Structure 1
Amino acid sequence: MKPLLTTIISKRSGLIAPVLIIGSLFFTACSEPPKTKPLSVLPAMKISDVGELTTTPFPGRARAGKEVNLSFRVTGSLIDFPIAVGDQVEQGQLVAQLDPKDYISALGAVTGQLNRAQASAKRAEGDYVRINRVYAEDPGATSETALDLAKAARDSSRASVMSMTNAVTQAEDQLKYTSLLAPFSGVIVSTYVENFETVIAKQPILRLLDPSSIEFVISVPESLIVYSDYADSVEVTFDALPDLKVPATIKEVGREASQATRTYPVTLVMQQPKGAEILPGMAGTAVVSGRLPDSAQRSGIEIPATAIFAGEDTSKSYVWIIDPETKVLSKREVEVGQFGKTGVLIRSGISVGEWIAVRGVNSVREGQQVRIADYSGKGAAL
C-alpha cells in the first residue's frame, strides 16, 4: 500500500504543511496475529500394571540403624574424656565424666535435711500418739484443740519427710548424671568438646553410631505406597558397591506424604553384608518385589483422589484423559470403588497405558491442550 500524502492548511498563517501518514506500517501492525497463550502445565500420570513395581528403582541413602548425639543432663566441668573419633565402645561404657564434687556436696546437704526431718517427724508422731491416748482415756485431761494441733504437726512432719526424700532422690540422680555412659555398643564418629571444658546440660558432647545394622530410606509415590503390605522381597544396591545386592526388609512406612513431592518415606533395614561394609551416607537404589494374592478382594485401578472430579450431575465421577500425542483433554466417566490407603479404586472407565490428570482437574476444560508434568508416580492395575 502506498503512503498517503495529505495537507493541513494553517488557519493563522495560510501555510500548507505536508503530513505523511505511514499507512502501510499502521495496517501491517494491525494485521499481526495475537501472541499465543502458553499451555497450562498439568500434573499427570500414566496408568501401569502393578508388575512394574518389581522393576522400579527407588533411590535412597544409608544411615546407621542406631545413631545419637550424647549430652549430659547436668552442667559441669569435664575431668575425664577417654574416647576419640573412631573408637569402638560397648554398651554401658564410660565415655565422659564431669567433676562430681558440687553434686556430692549437694547430696550431703539434702541428706542431712532428710535426717532432721525424719527425727522431727518421729517426735511429732510420738506427741500425737500420747495426746490421743490421754484424750481417749480422760477427755478432761486435755483439749480437742491440743489433739488437733498434734495431729497437724504430725501430718506436716510427714510431708517434710516426703519432700526431703524426693530432694535426696533428685540429688542422687544429679550425681549419677555426671557420668555419661554409652547407651548401646557402637563407634564414635564425632566429638564436639575437649577435656576440662565446662559444658552445659543438653550440650552435644559426642556422636555415637551403631553400624551393625543399616537403615535405608526411600521415597515411594502415593500411587504405589498402598502395595507396601504385599512386598515379598527388597534388594538394595549401593553406588559404591555396584556388584553387591543386599537383602533388606521394610521397617517402617510413613503415613504422611511430603507436601513438595507427594511421596511417602519408607525405611528399610539390613544387616552388614559379609566381605563389605556399608557406611552411613552411602547412596544407592532399592528394588521392591511383590504381587497381590489371588484371593485379594480388590479389583480395579487405584489412582490419587485428586484426579477425580464431578460434573453437573454430582452423582457421577469423572477423570481427564490426556491424549499422549495431541495433549488434548477429554472427560471420561469412571466407576469409583472403595478408598485405599492413599487413593481411590476405579472399577471401570480407565485402562492401563492411559494418561490421566491428577491435579488441577477443576481448572481445565474439555478439548483444552495442556503440557504434561510427570507426576513421578504410577497407577497400578489390580
Structure 2
Amino acid sequence: MRNILTGISCVVVLCMPSCMQREQQKETIRTVKVASAENYGEVKTATFPGKVKPASEVNLAFRISGPIAKIHVREGQFVRKGELLAEMDQRDYQLQLAATEAEYTQIKAEAERVIKLYEKQSVSENDYDKARLGLQQITAKYEAHKNALEDTKLKAPFNGYIQKRFFDSNETVAAGMPVFSMFSSDVPEVEINIPASEYIKRDLFDKFECYFEIFPGKTFPLELISINHKANLNQLYTLRFRLEAEQGSQLPSPGMSTIVTIAYKPQSTGLVSIPITAVFEVDDQPTVWVCDTTVLTVNARKIKIDGVTNDGRVIVSGGLQAGEQVVSAGVRFLSDGDSVKLLAKPGKSNVGGLL
C-alpha cells in the first residue's frame, strides 16, 4: 500500500510542472488590437462645378399608333412602377384581335385533327407538316394581336415623377412618339466634366464629395459610377457619381448645381503613420510591436519618428513599411516573440464595439 501511494505521489509531482507550464503558456497568449501603418503624405484636391441628374430618365411612348383615349397623370405627379399613365383607343385593336382569335380557333381545331390522324398514319407527312406549321403561324399572329391590345395601355416602368407631358387626350400619336418624360425617384446622381490634365490622373482619384449652397456646412460623399473615356466637343471628360446620404435625410433634387471635390491619393513620401498608442520606449528609443498576422507573434522594432499629427497619429520616417501591422493597445504587457490573438472587429450590430 505504501509503495502504491509513493508511486501516485511521484506521478502527481511529475505532472505538476507540466500542468503549470501549460497554464503559463496559455496565460502568455494575449489578445491584442492591431492597426495598419498607412502611407502619409500631402493630400491634393481639385474642385469642379457639377449638376444633379436623376438616376434614370426616359421618354415614354406607345409601341403602336392611334388616338389617345385617356391621360391619367399630370406633370410633376409621383407614380409607382406599373401604374397606368395613358390609354389609347382600343376599338380597332379589339376588332383585330377578335378576327384573329376566330381564325386561330378554326385552324387550331383543324390542325389537331390532322395531327391525330398522322399519329394513326392516316394522313401523309406533307399534310402533317402543313397543319403543324399553319398552327405555329396563326399562334404567333394571335399572340402579336393580343400584345397589340395590351400595348394600348402605357404604364410606368419604375417609381418616379412625370416631368413633362407632350400630348393630350384625343390626339393621335405614332408608334414610338414620346408621350411623357419621366425620371426615377431613386437616389440622384451627380455629373461633372474634367479637362484632359485631370483625366490622365484618374488612377490617383481617391475620394469624392460635393457641396450645395442650400445645405450650408454639409457635404455629401459620392461614389464614382463611371468615367467617359471619350472627350466631348469641349474636350472635357464626363464623370458620373452616385450620392451617398444617410437614410431619411433630405437629398438634393435633379437640376441643382453643386461643387464636387476630388481628393487624390497621397503622394509617396516614404513616410507612414500609426496610432500614437502603438509607440513605447526601449532604452530611450521609440519602439513598436510589429505583429506577424500569419503566425500570430510580435517582435519589437525600433522606429524613427518624424512628427505627430493633430488627430493623434505618429509620423514614422524609418523602421516601418506601409501595410505592416502594429499593436496599438496593451503594448506594456508584451515581450519579444510572444504569441498573440487578434481582437475581433465589432460586428455591424455592435456599433462602437460596446458589446
TM-score by length of 1: 0.54
Q: How many residues end up aligned between the 2 structures?
A: 228
Q: Are 2:259 and 1:269 equivalent residues in the alignment? A: no
- For 1:176 and 1:59, the matched residues in 2 are separated by 45
Per the alignment, residue 69 of structure 2 pairs with 79
Per the alignment, residue 202 of structure 1 pairs with 176
Contact 2:159 2:185 in 1 (8 A): no
Distance 1:204 1:272, change over 3 A: farther
Contact 2:50 2:260 in 1 (8 A): yes
Alpha-carbon deviation of 1:211?
4.2
Alpha-carbon deviation of 1:272?
6.3
Distance 1:52 1:215, change over 3 A: farther
- For 1:53 and 1:197, the matched residues in 2 are separated by 59
**Equivalent pairs: percent with the same residue?**
25
Contact 1:214 1:272 in 2 (8 A): no
1:149-160 matched pairs, under 5 angstroms: 150-160=124-134
- For 1:126 and 1:59, the matched residues in 2 are separated by 73
1:34-183 matched pairs, under 5 angstroms: 54-130=44-120, 132=121, 150-183=124-157
Alpha-carbon deviation of 1:83?
0.9
Per the alignment, residue 244 of structure 1 pairs with 218
Structure 1 residue matching 2:136: 3-state secondary structure = helix
C-alpha offsets along residues 140-174 of structure 1, whole Å, 9 cap, x if unaligned?
xxxxxxx7xx2111101110100111111111111
- Partner amino acid, structure 2, of 1:284: T
TM-score by length of 2: 0.58
User: Rg larger in 1 or in 2?
Assistant: 1
Alpha-carbon deviation of 1:122?
2.4
Contact 2:45 2:264 in 1 (8 A): no
- Partner amino acid, structure 2, of 1:78: I
Contact 2:44 2:266 in 1 (8 A): no
- Partner amino acid, structure 1, of 2:138: M
C-alpha offsets along residues 240-292 of structure 1, whole Å, 9 cap, x if unaligned?
5454322111011112223542x321111115676655232222221111316
C-alpha offsets along residues 290-334 of structure 1, whole Å, 9 cap, x if unaligned?
316869xxxxxxxxxxxxxxxxxxxxxxxxxxxxxxxxxxxxxxx
What stretches of structure 1 of length at least 5 have no aligned partner?
A: 1-50, 134-146, 296-382
- For 1:212 and 1:168, the matched residues in 2 are separated by 38
- For 1:105 and 1:253, the matched residues in 2 are separated by 51
1:208-247 matched pairs, under 5 angstroms: 208-241=182-215, 243-247=217-221
Structure 2 residue matching 1:213: 3-state secondary structure = coil
Alpha-carbon deviation of 1:78?
1.9
Per the alignment, residue 311 of structure 2 pairs with none
Contact 1:214 1:271 in 2 (8 A): no
Contact 1:54 1:287 in 2 (8 A): no
- Aligned alpha-carbon RMSD (Å): 2.7
Distance 1:268 1:129, change over 3 A: closer
- Partner amino acid, structure 2, of 1:66: S
